[in-house]
Amino acid sequence: MKLSFLASQSHKSQTALKKLSNRYGNVALEDAEVVVALGGDGFMLHCLHQMMNKNKPVFGLSCGTVGFLMNAYQDNKLIERIQKAKNTLLHPLEMTAYQISGQVKKSLAINEVSMLRQTRQSAHIKVKVNEMVKIERLVGDGVLVATAAGSTAYNLSAHGPVIPMGSSILALTPISPFRPRRWQGAILPSHAHFSFEVLSHKKRPVSATADNFEVRNVYRVDVKERPDIGIQVLYDPQHNLEDRILNEQFE
């Protein structure tokens, strides 16, 4: 099996890169059958973004601190593990952000698209789902849309729901909401289209972020899933991503 190793700059990842390359070989990315990512969740996200249009499965080995998106690190039996791994298909979100300056910027997100206030003043955001106004004025720190893969990241920290893999749903979660006081978010089908309008955008500036790509001073943000883009991620059958997300609901 032709493997291409990608590693973060941490000492642990670079040490693993040398050891595994010597043992299994390390071909160029375009020649690889499987890409092996060495690092933490942040580096794994970076690799998955690289693989969006390359149709190559990614097998992550944890060399970081959290490693929720990664498999446990082991030196031996890597080929056997990859051959037995479960293939999980991820579909990213597409963010279209409209800036006050007139620029329009697009980006894809594997975890979530979030909108956050830029100053001490709370954000005022109108929330639409499928062109229908659901909340006239959401007052708080912001709002986010999360995928199943990203539901245990920022979404969970914002008290959003954990979404099982393969459920074809997205989480719409407010971030520190002040009004409406009792709204805790919503679970919606993955084919839903979201539109967020920033009210009083000059007085209350808001930024939009798709994973780690940030756009500042936006007045509108549209979000939808891209089912035509599939990212293959490989996980050990005894500890796959679906099981991890399921277990997170009981911790």
Domain-by-domain residue ranges, the chain?
Answer: 3-91+230-248, 93-225
Backbone angles phi, psi at 6, to 5 degrees: -120, 130
Task: Give the tens place of pLDDT for each residue, 178-236.
Answer: 999 889 999 999 999 999 999 999 999 999 999 999 999 999 999 999 999 999 999 99
User: For the structural domain made of 3-91+230-248, what CATH number should be given?
Assistant: 3.40.50.10330
- Res 244 pLDDT > 80: no
Catalytic residue numbers?
Answer: 41
Assess contact for 153 and 67: CB atoms under 8 A.
Answer: no
Residue 128: predicted pLDDT: 98
- Res 238 pLDDT > 90: no
Fold match between domain 3-91+230-248 and domain 93-225? no
Residue 242: predicted pLDDT: 76
Mean pLDDT of the chain: 93
Q: Which CATH architecture has domain 93-225?
A: Sandwich (2.60)
Mean pLDDT lowest for which of 8-12, 72-76, 127-131, 171-175? 72-76
Task: Give the tens place of pLDDT for each residue, 13-39.
Answer: 999 999 999 999 999 999 999 999 999
In the chain, % of residues over pLDDT 70: 99
Residue 160: predicted pLDDT: 95
pTM of the predicted structure, to 2 decimals: 0.88
Residue 90: predicted pLDDT: 92
Assess contact for 145 and 113: CB atoms under 8 A.
Answer: yes
As a whole number of angstroms, the distance between CA 175 and CA 165 comes to 23
* Mean pLDDT to the nearest integer, 106-116: 97
Angle at CA of residue 55, ends 51 and 59, nearest 5°: 60
Angle at CA of residue 77, ends 71 and 83, nearest 5°: 70
* Mean pLDDT to the nearest integer, 133-161: 95
Task: Give the tens place of pLDDT for each residue, 93-108.
Answer: 999 999 999 999 999 9
Residue 66: predicted pLDDT: 67
